[in-house]
Amino acid sequence: LGTITRYVAVGLALAQAVAYYFYLRNNSYGGVPIVKYTTGWQSVFAAFVIILTFTAGAALIMWLGEQVNQHGVGNGISIILFAGIVSRMPHVLNTLGAFWQAANQDPSSYGKYYFLVPLFAVLFLLMMWVIVFMYDSERRIPVQYAKRVVGRRMYGGQSTHIPIKVG
């Protein structure tokens, strides 16, 4: 099952890399094409390098997640995703600060920005809460032990549960 999962993940990464290459090839930034070579052997080489780089990056992240799992630090891919979310925090806070400044400079946009800043803050905190909640959640499967007789005494009939991690 693990091997099949790895192959499917690399296949999905390959498909996404191809789609992203075509996105880069067909778009420009400030009038300058993102991918310069779109004809000839240069385009084949550029496509090969871009697709190979994105696919190898996905495989590397998958391998890093497995290494984190094997060394007992925790759920590897979840930790990598959490690190990615936390690394975006300075940019998000900077954007919220820019919204706040725009609200102070333009009185006509008070309502818009004074609504957006708290909304983004609440959504971010809600997202963090959901991540922690799902990571710590467990499914409790009830187990009923049968009664048993040892000598003249009767033991058992205990009820307990098996905790199974969901996240």
3-class DSSP state for residue 37?
A: coil
- For residues 100-122, one letter each, b for 16 or more C-beta atoms within 10 angstroms of the residue's C-beta and e for the rest, the string is eeebeeeeeeeeebeebbeeeee
Helix (H) or strand (E) holding 70: helix 40-70
Share of the chain above pLDDT 70, in %: 93
- Tokens 């190979």 belong to 52
Q: Which residues contact 92 (CB under 8 A, 6 or more apart)?
A: 120, 124
Does the structure show a pLDDT above 70 at 151?
yes
Mean pLDDT for 65-83 is: 81
Spatial distance between the Cα atoms of 93 and 81, rounded to a whole number of angstroms? 19
Share of the chain above pLDDT 90, in %: 18
Q: Are 68 and 79 contacting, i.e. CB atoms less than 8 angstroms apart?
A: yes
Does the structure show a pLDDT above 80 at 147?
no
Largest CA distance in the chain: 90
Q: Which residues contact 157 (CB under 8 A, 6 or more apart)?
A: 144, 145, 146, 147
What is the pTM for the complete model shown? 0.57
Locate the domains of the chain by residue range: 2-137, 138-167
